A and B are shown apart, each in its own frame.
Chain A
Amino acid sequence: MKTTEQLEAKLKRRSKAAKLEIWGRLVSLTALMLIVAVVVAIIGFVASKGIATFTSNHVSLWDFLSGKSWNPGVNGANGKPEVGALPMIVGSFLITILSAIVATPFAIGTAVFMNEISPNKGAKILQPVTELLVGIPSVVYGFIGLSVVVPTTRAIFGGSGFGILSGTCVLFVMILPTVTSMSADALRAVPRYYREASLALGATQWQTIYKVVLRAATPGLMTAVVFGMARAFGEALAVQMVIGNAALMPNSLVSPSSTLTSVLTTGIGNTVMGSLQNNALWSLALVLLFMSLVFNLIIRLIGRKGRLQ
């Protein structure tokens, strides 16, 4: 009898490990709550500021999204403030999509080489180079763009050399390492036995890569590309240095234009809090935030679909 009681007492006593466990949970829960609070605060702040354009300055959402002239502070012919964000929205999407289109084949090609064709060289040379490139600050890319890409564009196409094309070139180089290393991860995640099964059926290495490995890695590769697009969409500094910063509808790839981010970074220091000029910029920030949420959502959807397969 006594031993049973002793055992029960012993089992019921909170051991040191159990107490530590509670502490650990408490600490990590607090950290989590803090992060959630910060994220909610940021979204709330940007949203409240960004909505002010429409609530206190009475700009219609449609005019904001479809208007082609951006000149906050000046009233247009119809007496309304000119806060048409379409040029920047178009600029942002154009530059994002173009750089992704150019970067994707290079990234996947490099990843295939690193992972399938020459894993040794890949691990020794390409992997470290890629990781190094990911870590270079964007101002460096922008500076190189300014001193190399812009003059080259000018020499070939005339004009100032600033514009979507230069921006695309810089962004292409910037997102390439990220997309490449994520693509390589996606290929690495394809089980080795898929490759073996294919080779044992007499498929060549190219057939195996093309018909088996790339197919199986498609969700991961799509995630890599969308991730690169999210990065391109949000990049401010480097783009601002080469795009020319003219809030005009881009009528060619080599005419000065602007993106949501470039207008934001050049304009935000020159406006007064609470003014329409300032609120309009916050609305642009809201569009950016919304788009990055959309990119995130796409990445999650792809991930979920990939798991279901």
Chain B
Amino acid sequence: MFVNNDVKNAMAMEERHVIKLSDPDHPVILSTEDLHVYYGKKEALFEGDLEFASNQITALIGPSGSGKSTYLRSLNRMNDRIATVTGKIMYRGVDINQPSIDVYEMRRRVGMVFQRPNPFAKSIYDNIAFALRLRGVTGKHKLDEIVETSLKQAALWDQVKDDLNKSALALSGGQAQRLCIARAIAIKPDILLLDEPASALDPVSTGQLEDTLLSLKEHYTIIIVTHNMQQAARISEYTAFFNQGRVLEYDTTSHIFTNPSVQVTSDYVSGNFG
């Protein structure tokens, strides 16, 4: 039977392509199984089933409104009062999407940085000490030490070490975002979730932020939502492509960007989307 070449190519493309991880150096630390998210009656995420490798960077890409933030915010239960989340979120073998989970303790292990830098109207020092003090760390030496290491890890220490008592609101956008990272890592989480952390930043700050994330990989597992495909390609090991509330493709970043298995992914990463 005669088959048009284009049709043949399209048929060769899969509908959906999601790999399971098997890297013994970077075991799976977090995974979701059959995750659905509903805002009221409206389903915004259909069946999220991803695995995240420890001490690696995973990028979530996809057009705006495709459910990336919805998915990410479900991972540390930030959607609790906003949406209904069904399915399993397995963190080191424990389903953290159960009602019996202490979300406050869980969020200590799964930290989050938002799109818009959101430091508190407090001093730089107090911003970082905030979560530590909540957990009863009050010793001045201990606090000083953690504030310093957190700021160093976030590559902000050199710029602010003399201004620790100044208001965090005086920082530039890039500095404020790195302060938010320092604040999140001060409580030593396992996993760091970032939702388009560079979208409000200029290119130079974005570059610095990416360097920071690459260096943080050594200590933390990083999951980052980004609308910037070059960014995903530059920093991540794995990439998930979201479209219309579905994970259409999940594979290594190089696979997604050079040889995607799904037609829509191919269109999206090559800029022919629309």
Bound Cα distance A201, B187 (Å):
8
Contact assessment for A216 and B134 in the assembled complex, using a CB-CB cutoff below 8 Å = no
Cα–Cα distance between A309 and B114 once the two chains are bound (Å): 22
Q: Does A131 contact B (CB under 8 A)?
A: no
B228, chain A: closest CB distance, angstroms = 21
CA distance A173 to B114 in the complex (A): 42
Which A residues from 111 to 128 make CB contacts under 8 A with B? Answer: none
Within A90-136, the residues touching B (CB, 8 Å) are none
A-B contact pairs, 23 of them (CB 8 A): A194-B118, A196-B78, A196-B114, A197-B119, A197-B183, A198-B120, A198-B130, A199-B107, A200-B76, A200-B114, A201-B108, A201-B111, A201-B134, A201-B187, A202-B105, A202-B106, A202-B107, A202-B108, A202-B131, A203-B104, A203-B131, A309-B121, A309-B169
Q: Is A204 at the interface (CB under 8 A from chain B)?
A: yes
Question: A200-B184, A202-B107 given as contacts; is B118 within 8 A of A211 (CB)?
Answer: no
Chain B 112-125 near chain A by CB (<8 Å), digits 1 or 0: 10101011110000
Q: Does A46 contact B (CB under 8 A)?
A: no
Residues of B within 8 A of A216 (CB): 120-121
B135 neighbours in A (Cβ, 8 Å): 202
**Contact (Cβ within 8 A) B111 A203:** no
A266 within 8 A of B: no
B180 in the interface (beta carbon within 8 A): yes
Within the assembled complex, what's the spacing in Å between the Cα atoms of A47 and B104?
A: 60
The 7 closest A-B pairs by CB, nearest first: A201-B131, A200-B112, A193-B118, A202-B107, A202-B108, A197-B118, A202-B104
B51-94 toward A: CB 8 Å interface, digit per residue (1/0)? Answer: 00000000000000000000000001010000000000000000
Q: A197-B114, A199-B107, A202-B135 are in contact. List 13 more A-B contacts (CB 8 A).
A: A191-B118, A194-B118, A194-B120, A194-B121, A196-B78, A197-B120, A197-B183, A200-B107, A200-B112, A202-B106, A202-B108, A211-B130, A212-B120
Docked CA distance A204–B135 (Å) = 11
A193 in contact with B116 (CB, 8 Å):
yes
Q: Which of B111, B118, B183 contacts A196 (CB 8 A)?
A: B118
Chain A contacts for B169, CB-based, 8 A: 309
Cross-chain contact of A193 among B104, B108, B114, B187 (Cβ < 8 A): B114
Name the A residues within 8 Å of B106 (CB-CB). Answer: 202
- The answer, yes or no, to whether A207 is at the interface (CB within 8 Å) is yes
Complex interface bits, B165-196 against A, C-beta within 8 A gives 1, otherwise 0: 00101000000000010011001000000000
B184 touches A201 (CB 8 A): yes
Q: In chain A between 183 and 235, which residues have their CB closer than 8 angstroms to a CB of chain B? A: 191, 193-194, 196-204, 207, 211-212, 215-216
Q: Name the distance in Å between A304's Cβ and chain B's nearest Cβ.
A: 16
A281 to chain B, nearest CB (A): 47
Cβ contacts under 8 Å, A197 to chain B? 114, 118-120, 180, 183
A308 to chain B, nearest CB (A): 10
Interface residues on B, range: 20 to 34
B193 CB → nearest A CB, Å: 8
Give Cα A214 to B134, complex, Å: 16
Query: Which among A193, A197, A204 has the highest number of chain B CB atoms within 10 Å?
Result: A197
Q: Which residue of B lies closest to A192 (CB)?
A: B118
**Alpha-carbon separation in the docked complex, A203 to B108 (Å):** 9
B236: shortest Cβ distance to chain A, in Å? Answer: 22
List B contacts of A200 (CB < 8 A): 76, 78, 107, 111-112, 114, 184
User: A40 → chain B, closest Cβ, in Å?
Assistant: 39
Q: A204–B104 contact, CB under 8 A?
A: yes
Interface centre among B105, B114, B120, B135 (most CB of A within 10 A): B120
* CB neighbours of A201 from chain B (8 A): 107-108, 111, 130-131, 134, 183-184, 187
**A141 to B135 alpha-carbon distance, docked (Å):** 47
| Residues on A with beta carbons closer than 8 Å to the beta carbon of B118 | 191, 193-194, 196-197
A199 contacts across to B, CB distance below 8 A? 78, 107
Closest to B135 in A: A202
Instruction: Name the CB-closest residue of B to A204.
Output: B104
Q: In whole angstroms, how far apart are the Cα atoms of A191 and B120 in the complex?
A: 10
Best-surrounded residue of B78, B106, B111, B134 (most CB of chain A within 10 A): B134
Q: How far is the CB of B81 from chain A (nearest CB, A)?
A: 9
Q: Least Cβ distance of A44 to chain B in Å? A: 42
CA of A211 to CA of B130 in the docked complex: distance in angstroms?
Answer: 9
Docked Cα-Cα span, A204 to B104, in Å, equals: 6
Rounded to whole angstroms, the CA-CA distance of A215 and B121 in the bound complex is: 9
Bound complex: CA A279 to CA B183 (Å): 64
Cα–Cα distance between A286 and B250 once the two chains are bound (Å): 76
Q: Point out which of A203, A204, A309 has the most chain B C-beta atoms below 10 A from its C-beta.
A: A203
Residues of B within 8 A of A204 (CB): 104
Name the residue among A194, A200, A204 with the largest chain B CB count within 10 angstroms. Answer: A200
Q: How far is the CB of A3 from chain B (nearest CB, A)?
A: 42
Distance in angstroms from B182 CB to nearest chain A CB is 12
Please give, as numbers and ranges, the residues of chain B lying within 8 Å of A212 by CB-CB distance: 120
In the docked arrangement, what's the CA distance between A198 and B111, Å?
11
Rounded to whole Å, the gap between the CB of B231 and the closest CB of chain A is 22
Bound Cα distance from A207 to B132, whole angstroms: 13
How close is A198's CB to chain B, nearest CB, in angstroms?
A: 8
Q: Which residues of A contact B104 (CB under 8 A)?
A: 202-204
Point out the residues of chain A lying under 8 angstroms from B116, CB to CB.
193
